[in-house]
């Protein structure tokens, strides 16, 4: 298992290097070649012993159409598919703990990482990608982008894209702006230059206020519907504590977990913020 994961990772990394080297000519240029992204859909979680509920295996494509939309807060999809997203990591202990929870349930999620944390914990990002999760761009220093110049915005995103690539050999495909603060003109500019759609959310349990794990769980379960994008912060231990009951409750209701890119690719139409 270890060996085949390594082989797959090596393949992903070399493909990425081959397709993306031309864009390194400057910070604001992006190649028109497709960017290899993080969806490692071949990864299969080993079956754990015991009665753990498991998310269904899936081979959904993560190659969404660039014209699908500039902003998504949820996606219109033809089934009970939802995307769990985790912001502000990686965190030294909470993120690996969360990865264990996701792995035992075969759940694939999307991590909106902060670039400076990626540079601090590159091995955690590498593990996240190896286990089939997607990585998104959440800026390098977590500023409020809506008040920043174009140059600052671009450098925040480029530095993070570079850090993710150094750590895990893949490029992010979407951005989530810190505090959800991004002007429409900035969203269009980022979409044009980096190819990232802006990913907001449709379910917000306000977990950063630390209401307690059971409150986070009940808010998420009651707020989720088909095509939902669920916002959680893996920075906070209490948010991670809420995940086993949250995931098990959603699986029990028939929901299936996919990454953000897979959700967009299967739906294609934005329910714009």
Cα–Cα dist 60/258, whole Å: 8
Cα–Cα dist 75/156, whole Å: 27
Identify the residue among 83, 86, 88, 99 touching Ni ion (CB under 5 A).
88
Q: How many other CB atoms are there within 10 angstroms of residue 215's CB atom?
A: 16
Task: Work out how close the CB of 261 gets to Ni ion at its nearest, in angstroms, rounded to a whole number.
Answer: 19
Which part of the chain contacts Ni ion (CB under 5 A), choosing from 42-50, 85-93, 150-158, 185-193?
Answer: 85-93
By CB under 5 A, residue 178 contacts Ni ion: yes
Task: Work out how close the CB of 232 gets to Ni ion at its nearest, in angstroms, rounded to a whole number.
Answer: 11
Task: Work out how close the CB of 241 gets to Ni ion at its nearest, in angstroms, rounded to a whole number.
Answer: 19
Which part of the chain contacts Ni ion (CB under 5 A), choosing from 67-75, 146-154, 173-181, 209-217?
Answer: 173-181
Which part of the chain contacts Ni ion (CB under 5 A), choosing from 66-74, 149-157, 177-185, 244-252?
Answer: 177-185
Identify the residue among 12, 30, 35, 87 touching Ni ion (CB under 5 A).
87
Q: Is 237 or 249 the residue whose CB approaches Ni ion more closely?
A: 237
By CB under 5 A, residue 156 contacts Ni ion: no
Q: Among 1, 59, 40, 61, which Cα is nearest to 168's?
A: 40
3 flagged as catalytic? no
Q: Residue for token digits 């959904």?
A: 60
Q: Among 271, 269, 263, which Cα is nearest to 83's?
A: 263
Among 91, 133, 191, 233, the one annotated catalytic: 233
Angle at 95 between CA 115 and CA 218, to 5 degrees: 115
Cα–Cα dist 47/265, whole Å: 27
161 flagged as catalytic? no
By CB under 5 A, residue 90 contacts Ni ion: no
By CB under 5 A, residue 136 contacts Ni ion: no
Cα Rg of the chain, angstroms = 17
Task: Work out how close the CB of 93 gets to Ni ion at its nearest, in angstroms, rounded to a whole number.
Answer: 18
> For the residues of 155-215, what is the DSSP string, one character each?
HHHHHHHHHHHHHHS-----B--GGG---HHHHHHHHHHH-PPEE--SB---GGG---HHH
Task: Work out how close the CB of 251 gets to Ni ion at its nearest, in angstroms, rounded to a whole number.
Answer: 26
Looking at the annotation, which residues are catalytic?
87, 233
Which residues here bind Ni ion, judged by CB under 5 A? 87-88, 178
């Amino acid at each position: 298992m270890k060996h085949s994961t390594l082989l797959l990772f090596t393949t992903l990394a070399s493909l990425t290097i081959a397709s993306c080297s031309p864009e390194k000519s400057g910070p604001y240029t992006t190649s028109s070649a497709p960017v290899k992204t993080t969806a490692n859909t071949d990864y299969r979680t080993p079956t754990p012993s015991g009665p753990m509920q498991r998310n269904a295996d899936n081979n959904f494509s993560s190659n969404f159409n660039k014209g699908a939309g500039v902003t998504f807060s949820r996606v219109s999809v033809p089934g009970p598919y939802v995307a769990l997203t985790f912001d502000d990591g990686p965190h030294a202990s909470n993120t690996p703990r969360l990865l264990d929870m996701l792995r035992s349930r075969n759940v694939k999620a999307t991590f909106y990482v902060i670039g400076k944390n990626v540079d601090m914990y590159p091995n955690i990002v590498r593990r996240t990608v190896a286990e089939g999760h997607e990585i998104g761009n959440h800026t390098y220093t977590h500023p409020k982008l809506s008040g920043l110049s174009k140059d600052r915005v671009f450098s925040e995103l480029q530095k993070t894209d570079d850090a993710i690539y150094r750590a895990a050999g893949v490029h992010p495909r979407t951005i989530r702006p810190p505090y959800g603060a991004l002007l429409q003109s900035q969203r269009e500019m980022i979409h044009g230059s980096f190819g990232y759609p802006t990913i907001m959310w449709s379910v917000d349990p306000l977990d950063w206020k630390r209401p307690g794990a059971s409150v986070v769980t009940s808010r998420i379960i009651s707020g989720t519907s088909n095509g939902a994008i669920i916002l959680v912060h893996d920075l906070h231990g209490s948010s991670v504590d809420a995940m086993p009951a949250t995931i098990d409750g959603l699986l029990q209701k028939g929901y299936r977990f996919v990454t953000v890119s897979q959700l967009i690719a299967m739906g294609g139409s934005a329910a714009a913020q």
